[in-house]
Every structure is written in C-alpha cells, then in structure tokens.
C-alpha cells in the first residue's frame, strides 16, 4: 500500500477537496478527512478514490451532516489498496481505532468470553477465557456475557465432573476438595480417576459444546438404565445427575434453533433518533446469549447503512461465523461478505430471511432490540430530567453533559488512592473512570486536602495538555480527554476550596464546582452542599436531585474503595524476598518450595540457606544479611 499527503497550505471545504481530486489515482483505497486542528472527521473507503472524493467537491444536494463535514475539512489523507475488500477491512479498523466524529461508531466493544478446554495438561482444565486465543486448547464461544459462561461452566462441572482448579492447586492437593464432595469434580488431583477415563469425560464435554447434546443424553440414559438393571444404583444416580445437568444447560438458554447450528443474528431497530442493534450468538445449535448495542450515528443515516458499518467494525478483531442473519439489507452486501470471508478464512454468508426458523430468530432478536431501545429512551428521558433539575438547583446555565466526581480512599494514610467517576445523559460512563495512585511521598498520611490537590492537579494539567477548555468552535468534536461541565468533590468547604484554588492556579474558570458533605450525624438525606461564594444548603429528603447526587457520591465512594483494596491487595501479595538484590523468580521459587513461606526464609540460618538447590553461598549470605542486619 502507498500513502500520500499534501502539506501545501490549502483552503478548507470544497476548494481544498477539488485540489486533492486532481492528484488522486483511479484506484481503490481509504480516505481520511481532517479538521482545522488536525482532528479526524471521517474515514471512508472507495472502489475508485478519484470518483468517490469528487462527490465531496459540491455542497448542493448533500445531506446536512455531510455538508458540515465538507465545510470543516482542512486536510485529507489517502491510502491506496490493492482491492476494495482490503479497503473495507482497513476502513473498519481505522474507524474502530480512531473514532471519527462523522462515522457510525461501535460503542462498548468489550472482548467476549469463551470456554477454553486446555491441551497443555494430562488432565485438561475447563475455564473461562478472554483475550487473544494463543493458548493451546479448544475454544468454544463467543458467549454474550461472563454470566452465560459461568452458568454453562457450572452445569458442565455437574455433568462431566471436570476440574476447574489451577495447575498449582492441582499439583499440591493431597486429598479431594469440596467440589468432589458435592459431586462436581472427579478429583483427578489425587488419583480418583485415571487419565484415560478423564479424557473420556473431556471428550463428552466437547461433544456437548459442539452440538451433540441429544446423542450424548441418549447414551447417558442408556448407561443409567444398564446400571439400574445391574442393581448398581449409585452409578445410576451419577448418570441421572449428569443428565439433569445437561438438561439444565439447555433449559437456561431460552430459544434454541432446530436447524441453525452456527449463526450470529443482528437485528436493528430505530426510534427517537437512536438505533439499537441486538446481537444473538448461536453455536452448535445452542443459544449462547445476546447483547444490545447502541452505536453512535447521525440520526439521518438509514438503518441499513448503520447496520453494515456496525458489522464491519464488530468483526474487526474476532472471527465471524459461517452465517449472519440480518433484519435489514445492508449496503454492498457482496463486498461485506467477501471482506468477512477474508477475515474468517472461509466463506461467510449474509442473509435477510423471509420465512421459517431463521425468520423467527430474527423476529425474536428484533423484538428484543425494540424493548432494549425503549428502555434506554425511558432511562435517558429520566436522566435528562434529573440533569435539568440539577442545573436548576445549582443555578447552572445548562444541564451538565459531563459530570466528574472525585473521592479519596486510604486506611490511616496507607496505600492512598484518588478516584474519578464520570456521568452524563447516558448514565455512568465506566470506561472513562480513572484512579490516581498518590505519588507525592511528602504528603502527610491521611491528609485528604493534599491528596485531592494532587489528583485534581494531575487531572486538569493532563486536560490542558490536550487542548484549552474554552475558545474552541462549538462544532468541533471533543478531544481524547473531555472537559467536565460540573466537578463534584466528596467533602466540605475545605475540599471545595482546594478544588477552587487548583482551577484558579491553572487558569480554568468555566467549570462549576460542588462539594457534598455528610451533614449532622452522617445521615443519608441530610447532606450539605457547598458551592463557591454561596451559602451551604440542604435539599428536601425526597427531592429526586438529592437521590441523584447521592448515587453519584456513592458510586465514586465505591470505585475509590475498590481501587484502594486492589492496591492494598497487591502490596500484601508482594513478598519480602522481592527486596533482596539478585533474588529473581527462580531463586524465590526455590526458597519458598524449600522453606514453605517467606517468614520461614527470614528465620533460616546461613547453613540452611546454603542447602537450598540453586542458592549459592554468596546469595545465601545476602539473604541472611537482609533479614538479620543490625542498625
């Protein structure tokens, strides 16, 4: 691929684009439109770059959205490709990574969990797995949620008695664990089942995960009847429990197709200028869950265009199944099929079914999309009312679009952590939460004012490094670090004064501040609210705005405590051996295996340390001196 960009100063808008068109090739590729501050406005692909970009040289007949984009364009970048399919794949990758303002954007693209049956152990472990599929084993999924995986794993343990413990636990067991006692593990760790029989259980589990549930159930039923006829009622009861567990898996999967073994079902529904795309996963003839998405898109875009853009981005980092069932026809379906086939390494088919079982699956997904969007619109309307009420209560010029709430957490000054949560019209935006490990060692332990000063200074200096908060055209897209309209501090007048001073020192004067203190006897409902240059006030205990502010404060408190606990847990997990020079992971493992714990290592004599395999005399002396040094 070849890339070209002109650095010559050019006017913006149609005139600039016409100048680019004169030098473009008649070849497939990807184009990027950039604004005056070099921010990315749009990414598009073309079979013929010259002809496609030429469409932007005139404003007449363009939708309002495209017209605004053309007028804001101050530069363009181009990448030529060998084929249009390659251009489509590159476009999806760039949109997902760079998030241009005028493209349809996939939100909440979290990785999906899988079930992994490992192949790197004599007694394979069955576990939940996320991330790159680079560990040896068989992967089954994707599942729509961790809950769906956990439920299936729970039932698989009951049905096939496969181990779920880690390798280290497996190696160190001397007697069966509780899972064996409650008939959810065959206890291979202590030799209660041999390798061959355990491999048979693994094979049965994999057969079930690949769609052979009915055949497997029939065989188990026959085995149960044979055991009963032989008066081996204990074995017959084991088979009965496994059959029940298998039935429970399918009973909890809701709608299950009869003939559709592997497919993803996409159903799109529009209402109130928003779009919901409901996605169902079907693998091995089983329903493995669903998830609703609300892509960011201009309300003027047709539903087929949004659906096609969403699918391209969705499969950018995951393999598609052989069949995609859609509720609406997408733009350029043949090109999208070819691109997905390249991604999967096999043929992928798109279908908009009109009858039969597949139509019923799509109708079911579409109904779920409608219900999910109606719930979201209702929640958004309620959230907007709360934001309007908050603006009236605090005398803000407009309802805040981004609220940042700050809190600190520590135990007597140890492991201090600052936390920031974000909320707006769409509720809590957890992807934008941030934690701040307090770095200043000069801070007196427990000094909440100093901790808040460090957190706010780091946060807003970082924002200033991105761009100034004022003086920008209102139609520019937000930068990577968005500015809040309202900052809420957990605390009273002292914390409020710290926040006000920090913003003043940084020259930031257009952000509203609010501090929330506990009030008399720290009772919920009697909070006091503090704003700069205003008297403190309370709200009626049944005021919805009070409930809203309590939720914000409690969420910040929850996140701060969780971050502090994680930091404290990491410190507890650290070993005293880590502080000894020259003692790496291998020597540390040898010491722990020999003595059992770091405490016993610290009490060991020099002769005992020298007796540890892999510990030289010099290393033993360093270890002994470290634990027995005198001041």
pLDDT of amino acid 470: 42
CB atoms under 10 Å from CB of 304, counted, come to 17
Write out the two tokens for 627: 């634990």
Q: Last residue of some domain: 224, 251, 278?
A: 251
User: What CATH number corresponds to the domain at position 622?
Assistant: 1.10.150.20
Q: Are residues 585 and 565 in the same domain?
A: no
Q: Last residue of some domain: 571, 587, 615?
A: 571
Q: Are residues 408 and 528 in the same domain?
A: yes
pLDDT of amino acid 48: 92
What H or E segment, with its residue span, contains residue 507? none
Q: Last residue of some domain: 331, 354, 374?
A: 374
Q: Are residues 214 and 185 in the same domain?
A: yes
Report the distance separating Cα 525 and Cα 253, nearest Å. Answer: 43
- Bond from prior residue into 110 cis (ω within 30 degrees of 0): no
Given the DSSP bridges, would you call strands 29-34 and 486-490 parallel, antiparallel or unpaired? Answer: unpaired
- DSSP character string of 167-224: HHHHHH-SS--HHHHTTS---GGGTSS-HHHHHHHHHHHHHHHTT-HHHHHHHHHHHH
Report the distance separating Cα 571 and Cα 574, nearest Å. Answer: 5
Q: Are residues 498 and 407 in the same domain?
A: yes
Say if 109 falls within a structural domain: no
Q: Are residues 582 and 612 in the same domain?
A: yes
Range of the domain at 119: 114-251
pLDDT of amino acid 328: 93
Q: Are residues 218 and 312 in the same domain?
A: no
How many structural domains are present in the chain? 5
Q: Are residues 564 and 584 in the same domain?
A: no
Residues 6+ apart with CB under 8 A from 171: 189
Q: Are residues 581 and 557 in the same domain?
A: no
Say if 296 falls within a structural domain: yes
Q: Are residues 9 and 68 in the same domain?
A: yes
Write out pLDDT tens, residues 254-263.
Answer: 455 667 778 8
Say if 513 falls within a structural domain: yes
Say if 394 falls within a structural domain: no
CB atoms under 10 Å from CB of 541, counted, come to 12
Q: Are residues 58 and 12 in the same domain?
A: yes
Contacts by 109-112, CB closer than 8 A, 24 or more apart: 109/313, 109/314, 112/141, 112/142, 112/143, 112/144, 112/318
The parts of the chain modelled with pLDDT lower than 50 are 1-6, 8, 252-254, 468-481, 631
Say if 557 falls within a structural domain: yes
pLDDT of amino acid 473: 39
Please report how the helices 544-573 and 356-394 are oriented relative to each other, as an axis angle in degrees rounded to 10: 110
Residue 615 vs residues 347, 624, 627: alpha-carbon distances, Å = 57, 12, 16
Report the distance separating Cα 462 and Cα 508, nearest Å. Answer: 13
Write out pLDDT tens, residues 179-212.
Answer: 888 878 888 998 888 888 888 888 888 877 776 6
């Amino acid at each position: 691929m070849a890339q070209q960009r002109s650095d010559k100063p050019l006017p913006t808008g149609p005139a600039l684009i016409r100048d680019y068109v004169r030098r473009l090739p008649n070849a497939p590729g990807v184009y990027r439109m950039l604004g005056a501050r070099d921010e990315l406005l749009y990414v598009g692909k073309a079979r013929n770059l010259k002809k496609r970009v030429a469409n932007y040289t005139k404003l007449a007949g363009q939708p309002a959205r495209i017209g605004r984009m053309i007028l804001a364009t101050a530069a363009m970048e181009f990448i030529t490709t060998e084929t249009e399919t390659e251009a489509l794949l590159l476009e999806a990758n760039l949109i997902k990574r760079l998030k241009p303002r005028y493209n349809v954007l996939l939100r909440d693209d979290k990785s999906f969990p899988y079930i992994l049956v490992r192949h790197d152990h004599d007694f394979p472990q069955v576990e939940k797995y996320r991330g790159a599929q680079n560990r040896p084993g068989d992967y089954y999924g994707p599942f729509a949620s961790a809950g769906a995986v956990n439920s299936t794993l729970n039932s698989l343990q009951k049905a096939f008695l496969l181990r779920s413990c880690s390798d280290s636990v497996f190696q160190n067991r001397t007697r069966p664990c509780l899972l064996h006692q409650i008939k959810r593990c065959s206890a291979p760790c202590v030799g209660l089942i041999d390798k061959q029989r355990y491999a048979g259980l693994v094979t049965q589990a994999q057969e079930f995960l690949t769609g052979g549930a009915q055949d497997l159930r029939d065989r188990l039923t026959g085995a149960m009847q044979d055991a009963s006829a032989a008066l081996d009622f204990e074995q017959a009861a084991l088979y009965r429990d496994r059959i029940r567990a298998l039935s429970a898996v399918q009973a909890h999967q809701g709608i299950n197709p009869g003939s559709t073994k592997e497919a993803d079902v996409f159903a799109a529904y529009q209402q109130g200028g928003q779009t919901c795309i409901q996605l169902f996963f079907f693998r091995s003839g089983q329903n493995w869950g669903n998830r609703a998405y609300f892509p960011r898109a201009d309300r003027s875009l047709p539903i087929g265009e949004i659906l096609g853009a969403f699918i391209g981005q969705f499969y950018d980092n995951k393999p598609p199944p052989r069949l995609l069932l859609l509720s609406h026809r997408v733009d350029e379906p043949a090109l999208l099929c070819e691109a997905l086939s390249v991604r999967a390494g096999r043929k992928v088919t798109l279908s908009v079914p009109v009858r039969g079982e597949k139509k019923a699956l799509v109708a079911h997904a579409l109904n779920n999309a409608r219900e999910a969007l109606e719930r979201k619109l209702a929640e958004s309307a309620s959230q907007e009312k709360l934001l309007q009420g908050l603006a009236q209560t605090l005398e803000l010029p407009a309802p805040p679009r981004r609220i940042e709430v700050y809190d600190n957490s520590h135990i007597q000054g140890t492991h201090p952590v600052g936390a920031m949560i974000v909320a707006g019209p769409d509720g809590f935006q957890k992807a934008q939460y941030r934690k701040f490990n307090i770095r200043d060692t000069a801070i007196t332990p427990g000094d909440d004012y100093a901790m808040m000063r460090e957190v706010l200074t780091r946060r807003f200096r970082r924002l200033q490094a991105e761009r100034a908060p004022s003086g920008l055209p209102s139609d520019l897209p937000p930068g990577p670090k968005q500015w809040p309209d309202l900052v809420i501090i957990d605390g009273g007048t002292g914390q409020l004064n710290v926040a006000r001073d920090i913003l003043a020192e940084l020259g930031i004067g257009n952000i509203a501040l609010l501090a929330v203190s506990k009030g008399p006897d720290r009772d919920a409902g009697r909070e006091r609210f503090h704003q700069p240059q205003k008297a403190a006030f309370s709200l009626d205990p049944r005021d919805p705005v009070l409930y809203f502010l309590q939720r914000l404060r409690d969420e910040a408190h929850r996140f701060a405590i969780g971050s502090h606990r994680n930091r404290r847990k990491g410190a507890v997990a650290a070993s005293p051996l880590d502080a000894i020079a020259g003692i790496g992971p291998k020597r540390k493992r040898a010491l722990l295996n020999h003595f059992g714990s770091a405490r016993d290592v610290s009490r060991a004599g020099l002769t005992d340390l020298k007796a540890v395999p892999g510990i030289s005399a010099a290393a033993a002396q360093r270890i002994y001196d470290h634990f027995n040094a005198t001041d």
